[in-house]
């Protein structure tokens, strides 16, 4: 498990059989990161505020989440490819501390996925999705909203694939 803050990571390939992926404690920039096979989550964000930007790169074989946003602030996902995945982005639905989280998703290519973005509407989360710049093949839902909680319970799904983000 790695904890990084205020750095630029670029041109990295994470192979199969990794345990947990990469954890970021604070604002960072990630460029051209490739995950061949995701066990838990590829990228976990724990920052309290600020922006984490991931540009370029991609992920294959993520049964659950690619980007797990546990902290606060903004996550920007741009020019990213994802194939055979559960969720590209998910705002934590059951973390002990809940805050408003934001995500911007642009220039993304998806194939064989369940959910592009999942946010908790009761905490004011916002997903801004560049629908004209993204390409979806066999994607079940672009954006789902949830009733998050701070008790560790599974969050309740409120809406599926409805345009209610900015």
Average pLDDT, whole number, for the chain?
A: 91
Between CA 47 and CA 72 the distance in angstroms is 6
pLDDT given at position 2: 61
Residue 146 three-state SS: strand
| Domain contains 165 | no
| Residue-range definition of the domain harbouring residue 145 | 2-160
| Domain contains 166 | no
Q: Burial of 97 by CB count in 10 Å (0-12 exposed, 13-18 middle, 19+ buried)?
A: exposed
Confidence category of residue 6, pLDDT binned at 50, 70, 90: low
Domain count of the chain? Answer: 1
pLDDT given at position 76: 98
| Domain contains 12 | yes
Number of other residues whose CB lies within 10 A of the CB of residue 77:
26
Contacts of residue 65, defined as CB under 8 A and 6 or more positions apart, other chains included, come to: 40, 41, 42, 86, 87, 89, 90
Verdict on whether the full-model pTM lies above 0.85? yes
Between CA 105 and CA 67 the distance in angstroms is 12
Instruction: Residue 36: give its domain's CATH number.
Output: 2.160.20.10
In tens, the pLDDT along 9-67 reads 788 888 887 777 888 888 889 999 999 999 889 999 999 999 999 999 999 999 999 99
Between CA 95 and CA 75 the distance in angstroms is 17
Between CA 19 and CA 21 the distance in angstroms is 6
In tens, the pLDDT along 125-160 reads 999 999 889 999 999 999 999 999 999 999 999 999
| Domain contains 21 | yes
Between CA 19 and CA 9 the distance in angstroms is 19
| Domain contains 65 | yes
Give the tokens for residue 137.
């093949």
């Amino acid at each position: 498990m790695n904890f990084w803050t205020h750095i630029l990571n670029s041109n990295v390939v994470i192979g199969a059989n990794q345990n947990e992926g990469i954890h970021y404690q604070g604002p960072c920039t990630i460029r051209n990161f490739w995950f061949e096979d995701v066990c838990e989550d590829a990228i976990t964000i724990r920052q309290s505020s600020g922006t984490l930007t991931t540009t370029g790169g991609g992920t294959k074989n993520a049964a659950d989440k690619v980007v797990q946003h546990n902290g606060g602030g903004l996550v920007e996902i741009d020019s990213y490819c994802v194939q055979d995945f559960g969720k590209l982005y998910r705002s934590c639905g059951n973390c002990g501390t809940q805050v408003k989280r934001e995500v911007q998703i642009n220039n993304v290519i998806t194939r064989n996925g369940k959910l592009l973005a999942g946010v908790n509407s009761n905490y004011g989360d916002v997903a801004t999705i560049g629908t004209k710049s993204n390409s979806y093949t066999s994607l079940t839902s672009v954006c789902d909203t949830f009733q998050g909680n701070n008790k560790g319970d599974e969050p309740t799904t409120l809406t599926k694939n409805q345009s209610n983000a900015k």
